[in-house]
Chains A and B, each alone.
Chain A
Amino acid sequence: MNQIKSSQITPEHLYLSRRRFLIGAGALVAGTVLFGACGPGVPEPPDLQPPSPGTDELGDKITPYKDITNYNNFYEFSLNKEDVASLAKNFITSPWSVTVGGLVRNPQTFDIDDLRRRFPAEERIYRLRCVEGWSMVIPWDGFPLAKLLEVVEPTSEAKYVRFESLYDPKQMPMREIPFEWPYVEGLRLDEARDNLTLLATGIYGKPLLPQSGAPLRLVVPWKYGYKSIKSIVKIDLVAEMPLPFWVNQSSSEYGFYANVNPAVSHPRWSQASERRIGETKRRTTLLFNGYDKEVAPFYQGMDLEKLF
Chain B
Amino acid sequence: MPRLLTLWLPLVTHVGALMPLGLIIWGLTQDQLTADPIREIQLRTGKAALVLLVLTLACTPVSKVSPLRWVLRLRRLLGLYAFAYASLHLLNFIGIDYGFDLGLLQKDLPKKYYIFLGFAAFLSLLPLAITSTKVWRQRLGKNWQRLHWLVYPAALLAVTHFLLLVKAGRREPYLYAAIVLLFLLARLPWLGKIVRRPRRWFKK
Is B a genuine binding partner of A?
Answer: yes
Whether the Cβ atoms of B112 and A268 lie closer than 8 Å is yes
Question: In the assembly, what is the distance between CA of A57 and CA of B111, in Å?
Answer: 33
Contacts of A282 in B (CB 8 A): 97-99, 101, 104
Segment from B30-38, B47-55, B130-138, B140-148 that makes contact with A: B30-38
- Taking CB atoms and an 8 Å cut-off, the chain A residues in 223-275 that contact chain B are 249, 265-268, 270, 272-273, 275
Q: Assuming the A-B contacts A81-B34, A82-B34, A278-B35, are A267 and B164 also in contact, with contact meaning beta carbons closer than 8 angstroms in the complex?
A: yes
Count how many chain A residues have C-beta atoms less than 8 Å from C-beta atoms of the other chain. 29
Whether the Cβ atoms of A266 and B38 lie closer than 8 Å is no
The reply to whether the CB of B96 lies closer than 8 angstroms to some CB of chain A is: yes
- Taking CB atoms and an 8 Å cut-off, the chain B residues in 23-81 that contact chain A are 32, 34-36, 38-39
Whether the Cβ atoms of A270 and B108 lie closer than 8 Å is yes
Whether the Cβ atoms of B110 and A265 lie closer than 8 Å is yes
The reply to whether the CB of A106 lies closer than 8 angstroms to some CB of chain B is: no
Q: Assuming the A-B contacts A249-B168, A267-B114, A268-B114, are A71 and B35 also in contact, with contact meaning beta carbons closer than 8 angstroms in the complex?
A: yes
Summed over the interface, the residue pairs from A and B with CB atoms below 8 Å come to a total of 63
Closest A residue, CB atoms, query B108: A270
The reply to whether the CB of B2 lies closer than 8 angstroms to some CB of chain A is: no
Interface flags for A99-112 (1: CB within 8 Å of B; 0: not) read 00000000000000
The reply to whether the CB of A91 lies closer than 8 angstroms to some CB of chain B is: no
Q: Assuming the A-B contacts A275-B36, A280-B96, are A75 and B114 also in contact, with contact meaning beta carbons closer than 8 angstroms in the complex?
A: no
The reply to whether the CB of B3 lies closer than 8 angstroms to some CB of chain A is: no
Contacts of B104 in A (CB 8 A): 272-273, 282, 284
The reply to whether the CB of A55 lies closer than 8 angstroms to some CB of chain B is: no
The reply to whether the CB of B107 lies closer than 8 angstroms to some CB of chain A is: yes
Closest A residue, CB atoms, query B99: A281
The reply to whether the CB of B169 lies closer than 8 angstroms to some CB of chain A is: yes
Question: In the assembly, what is the distance between CA of A166 and CA of B95, in Å?
Answer: 42
Interface centre among B107, B113, B167 (most CB of A within 10 A): B167
Question: In the assembly, what is the distance between CA of A81 and CA of B97, in Å?
Answer: 19
* Other-chain residue from A40, A79, A134 in contact with B39 (beta carbon distance below 8 A): A134
Question: In the assembly, what is the distance between CA of A281 and CA of B111, in Å?
Answer: 23
Whether the Cβ atoms of B35 and A273 lie closer than 8 Å is no
Closest A residue, CB atoms, query B104: A273
Listed in ascending order, the chain A residues whose CB lies under 8 Å from chain B are 40, 66-67, 70-71, 75, 79, 81-82, 132, 134, 176-177, 179, 249, 265-268, 270, 272-273, 275, 277-278, 280-282, 284
26 contacts between A and B (CB under 8 A): A40-B32, A66-B35, A70-B34, A71-B34, A79-B167, A81-B35, A82-B34, A82-B35, A134-B39, A177-B168, A179-B168, A249-B168, A265-B108, A265-B110, A266-B111, A267-B114, A268-B114, A270-B108, A275-B36, A275-B39, A277-B36, A278-B35, A280-B99, A281-B99, A282-B101, A282-B104
16 more A-B contacts (CB under 8 A) besides A272-B104, A275-B97? A71-B35, A71-B36, A79-B168, A81-B34, A134-B36, A177-B169, A267-B114, A268-B165, A270-B108, A273-B108, A275-B36, A281-B99, A282-B97, A282-B98, A282-B101, A282-B104
